[in-house]
Structure 1
Amino acid sequence: MKQRLESTFFHLLLVIAIGLLGWLTQRYALVSDWTESGRNSLHPVSQQLLTRLDAPLKITSFAPKNSALRDPIKDIVARYRRFRPDIEFKFVNPAMQPQLTRELGIQVSGELILEYKGRRENLRNLEEEGISNAIQRLIQQGDKWIVFIIGHGERRLDGKANFNLGDFGDELKRKGYHLQDLDLAKHLQIPINTGLLVIAGPQNDYLPGETNLVADYLETGGNLLWLSDPGKNSGLTSLSKKLGIEILPGTIVDPNAEGLGLKSPAITLATQYPKHPAVANFKAITIYPYAAALQATDSEAGGWLRTPLLNTLPRTWNETSPTKGEVTHNPEQGEQAGPLTIGYALTRNHEKGEQRIVLIGDGDFLSNTYLANGGNQDLGLNLVRWLSEDDQLLDIPARTGRDLNIELTPTTGAIIGFGFLLVIPLGLLSTGMLIWWRRRRS
């Protein structure tokens, strides 16, 4: 009787112990990365970045209930959460919340939304380097001021009309930038905390004193985004001469656009981009309605390095006549054949550091009407990041192991294949037959 009770008590304790172990495995996880390169752990650069977080970081993945898609996302985010358990993470099924998916601009399955201190960033690069750089941008962008000049019929960064840039301005706010308008006729100076000055398609001429204020701002090392429109120099010709850039007459016409279903010949495309930090790894097609061509004139002016940033396709030209109806290229009227340059990036060394300017012969590409076309919004964000000096991205090299691939000579491969397919099965069969024969004799 005593032995039976001891046996029952032992088995009961064993079941309880197994149950407790199962409970512990559900509540706690012990993870150890034994790979030679530590490829399953967070890079030290990313770990250092996470120590700078002083508020909750929220990560949301818009992915359908598909383990093949969700599991890799869960694994990469888990590396960050092991180092910072306070990071909030959840999945959202886009099919169940279509309105939220549209509002947040989700375009691909698995896309991440990172939120920090009221700022937000969409991310489609699900590698550690992409996630860490997005976190860095969210941390840095809190003190960036973008000042846009008003008072001359400019496109407004807070305007909701089709030609304004209100949607782009809203996106900049979501990224953490502070926007401020500035009427030079009233304030007579550009604030010293301006991180980026924007001139967005003025329709009326600047007064000479206002032009001088902008020129003085550039002399002190300020960065500038200048969106110009065809035939609208707006009293800024002297400024473009100082930059060594000429705005060619007319509007660019692009016959290539017709093949993509674009009805107006005055809509031009850019499909390739130079190796420049402002468009690093950028591959999306961007469209430019009613754009002006630019041309570098004086390579020595101001000490600027001028890099063509946006170029049209061949078969384009700057049409100096109205673009309605059938248009033809007339070289005798000074119309230049493409490829033409729509945008330049200018840099020069200044005592404050590298000074940066982007001059683009079109403001429509960021307008409310055309912002969602192609990669226009992403290009605009890239340009602002570069001009605001938010392009100092983390360099996190890919870590691979030397033990991921086995390289065999043909002879070795044949021996291994022959052994698994013939020798081992025959050995097992022979052993079985031998055991059977011995038992039968006994």
Structure 2
Amino acid sequence: MINRVGSRLNDLLFHLVMALLLVLLAWLSSRYDMQWDWTRQGSNSLNPASIDILRRTPGELSVTAYVGETAKLRDRIQRFVARYQHHKPNIELTFIDPLRHPDEARRQGISLSGEIVLRYEKREERIQKVDEEQFSNAILRLGRDNSYWIAGLSGHGERDLTGKANHDLGEFGQSLKQQGYQIAGLDLATSSGPPDNTALLIIASPIRALLPGEIERLSEYVAEGGNLLLLSDPDNWILGDLIQQLFGIEQLPGTIVDANVKALGIDNPAIAVVPEYSNHEATRGFNLLTLFPQSAALTLSEQRDWKATPLLRTLDKSWNETGPLSGEIERNPLAGEESGPLTIGIALERRHDDREQRILVIGDGDFLANSYLNNAGNLDLGLSLSRWLVGDDQLIGIPAPQASDRELHLSKLAIGTIGLGSLIVLPLMLLAVGAVMAWRRNRA
């Protein structure tokens, strides 16, 4: 009797201790968040460089993912962002279905399901895929304190970085502001040249020639290491002659027509499609299709002072049409019409003092205009090119974790042994065990 009571007391004490331990564990789990990543390559953890970026970005970070409500991508994004929230709890994740909220998606220039917009202290960045390197670098750019000044040349009928007309670049200028850049106009006729803090000068499709004094100031700006973005248009010889004079880049006559756009449901042949990009820092990680309406082809002479890279090229079945863009259009080699691929964007680089000078010449200004900015990946390309031009591309490299044991290599003997064991030996062993158990049961 005494032993039975003692046994019950022991059981009661054991269950009481277990209950107290469970309560203690629950309390500890609510107070302390501990995680362990047991994968060999740490594929479920953030890279130390990403963690350091989060520590240097103390403010609240807003993450908006434009994904459909039933998309499996939502779960993937949620798990991915949770890795960042573990180190930075003040990250707010929001999902918006672009199909149910098309106006919001259109206002943000969303062209791809799964696109993510990050906002921090009135600045924003966007990425196109769930990738730690892109996500962390976007946070890195958002957290930078330095501001870059971007000036747009004015006084010659250029596309205005603050203008609202269809041909202006006002929406692109607003996007640059949201990225943290400062925007200003520049009239070379009334100034001594771009201010010293100008990180980039944009010359977008002037329709009146620059005065000799303005060209001289512009040449001095280039000679002193200034960065330039030059946006030309078909048969715009005002800028075409200036580009050739300064950099030896020739603009071909006519407008590029592209037969490939029919496959995209576009009836206008004067829209060139660019689906792939050169292996260059300006387009690193960029993989969106872009559209270039009314663009001009460029050719490059031998460069001695500059490192030149053809950055944007059209596909085959394109050419520079010099005739009317109506009716039946066919390439006429006798009229100087060259077959594609054609170059419509050239990047120039050289060392100047202790830094790199960067020039970008594009034979199209419409792709960044208000009318076409939100087509395909035009906005994202414009922002990527701008970051490279101002030198805001000093990013971190985070290699994707690769498991070292994903493949199992077996010899033919090993494969045969496994097959023989699983198909013959193992079933015979199970039969033998069953027979022995039945024999022992019958004897009992």
- Normalised by the size of structure 2, how large is the TM-score? 0.87
Partner of 1:264: 268
* Greater mean alpha carbon deviation, residues 265-274 or residues 207-216: 265-274
Partner of 1:339: 341
Give the partner amino acid of 1:92. F
Does the CA contact (< 8 Å) of 1:141 and 1:175 recur in 2? no
CA distance, structure 1, for counterparts of residue 193 and residue 347 of structure 2: 25
SS at match of 1:191: coil
Does the CA contact (< 8 Å) of 1:49 and 1:132 recur in 2? yes
- Seen in structure 2, the aligned counterparts of structure 1 residues 314 and 75 have a Cα distance that, compared at 3 Å, is closer
Partner of 1:212: 216
CA distance, structure 2, for counterparts of residue 241 and residue 223 of structure 1: 17
Does the CA contact (< 8 Å) of 2:227 and 2:358 recur in 1? yes
Q: Which runs of 5+ in 2 are unaligned?
A: none
Partner of 1:366: 368
**Is 1:88 paired with 2:88?**
no
Does the CA contact (< 8 Å) of 2:111 and 2:377 recur in 1? no
Instruction: Give the share of equivalent positions with the same residue, in percent.
Output: 45
Per-residue deviation at 1:20?
A: 4.6
Partner of 1:237: 241
Q: Kindly provide the CA deviation profile for residues 86-141 of structure 1, in whole angstroms up to 9, marking residues without a partner as x.
A: 34132425266555444434455544322222111222221222212222222348
1:122 to 107, 118, 126: 126
- Seen in structure 2, the aligned counterparts of structure 1 residues 311 and 413 have a Cα distance that, compared at 3 Å, is same
CA distance, structure 1, for counterparts of residue 352 and residue 16 of structure 2: 78
- Provide the alpha-carbon RMSD of the alignment: 3.0
SS at match of 1:427: helix
1:285 to 272, 289, 292: 289
- Seen in structure 2, the aligned counterparts of structure 1 residues 423 and 5 have a Cα distance that, compared at 3 Å, is same
Give the partner amino acid of 2:389. L
Q: Kindly provide the CA deviation profile for residues 400-428 of structure 1, in whole angstroms up to 9, marking residues without a partner as x.
A: 23333332223323333443454344434
Per-residue deviation at 1:148?
A: 0.7
Q: Kindly provide the CA deviation profile for residues 277-335 of structure 1, in whole angstroms up to 9, marking residues without a partner as x.
A: 223344433222222222224534xx122222222334443333443444444444444
- Seen in structure 2, the aligned counterparts of structure 1 residues 371 and 104 have a Cα distance that, compared at 3 Å, is closer
CA distance, structure 2, for counterparts of residue 189 and residue 335 of structure 1: 38
Does the CA contact (< 8 Å) of 2:317 and 2:340 recur in 1? yes
Partner of 2:410: 408
* Greater mean alpha carbon deviation, residues 206-215 or residues 179-188: 179-188
Per-residue deviation at 1:390?
A: 2.2
CA distance, structure 1, for counterparts of residue 262 and residue 77 of structure 2: 40
Per-residue deviation at 1:235?
A: 6.8
Per-residue deviation at 1:195?
A: 0.7
**Is 1:185 paired with 2:189?**
yes
Does the CA contact (< 8 Å) of 2:240 and 2:251 recur in 1? no
Partner of 1:309: 311
Give the partner amino acid of 1:85. K
Partner of 2:358: 356
- Seen in structure 2, the aligned counterparts of structure 1 residues 10 and 295 have a Cα distance that, compared at 3 Å, is closer
Q: Which runs of 5+ in 1 are unaligned?
A: none
- Seen in structure 2, the aligned counterparts of structure 1 residues 288 and 381 have a Cα distance that, compared at 3 Å, is same
Give the partner amino acid of 1:167. E
Give the partner amino acid of 2:399. P
CA distance, structure 2, for counterparts of residue 27 and residue 71 of structure 1: 26
CA distance, structure 2, for counterparts of residue 420 and residue 63 of structure 1: 46
- Seen in structure 2, the aligned counterparts of structure 1 residues 70 and 314 have a Cα distance that, compared at 3 Å, is closer
- Seen in structure 2, the aligned counterparts of structure 1 residues 137 and 263 have a Cα distance that, compared at 3 Å, is same
CA distance, structure 2, for counterparts of residue 64 and residue 329 of structure 1: 43
* Greater mean alpha carbon deviation, residues 213-222 or residues 120-129: 120-129
Aligned residue-pair number? 439
Per-residue deviation at 1:152?
A: 1.3
**Is 1:172 paired with 2:176?**
yes
Give the partner amino acid of 1:125. K
CA distance, structure 2, for counterparts of residue 23 and residue 68 of structure 1: 33
SS at match of 1:382: helix
CA distance, structure 2, for counterparts of residue 265 and residue 112 of structure 1: 32
1:393 to 382, 392, 395: 395
Does the CA contact (< 8 Å) of 1:118 and 1:174 recur in 2? yes
CA distance, structure 2, for counterparts of residue 118 and residue 331 of structure 1: 52
Does the CA contact (< 8 Å) of 1:162 and 1:369 recur in 2? yes
**Is 1:30 paired with 2:34?**
yes
CA distance, structure 2, for counterparts of residue 374 and residue 134 of structure 1: 21
CA distance, structure 2, for counterparts of residue 93 and residue 333 of structure 1: 51
CA distance, structure 2, for counterparts of residue 213 and residue 144 of structure 1: 21
Partner of 1:146: 150
Per-residue deviation at 1:6?
A: 7.6
- Seen in structure 2, the aligned counterparts of structure 1 residues 237 and 78 have a Cα distance that, compared at 3 Å, is same
SS at match of 1:184: coil
CA distance, structure 1, for counterparts of residue 175 and residue 312 of structure 2: 22
- Normalised by the size of structure 1, how large is the TM-score? 0.87
- Seen in structure 2, the aligned counterparts of structure 1 residues 271 and 248 have a Cα distance that, compared at 3 Å, is same
Does the CA contact (< 8 Å) of 2:66 and 2:115 recur in 1? yes
Give the partner amino acid of 1:345. A
SS at match of 2:311: strand
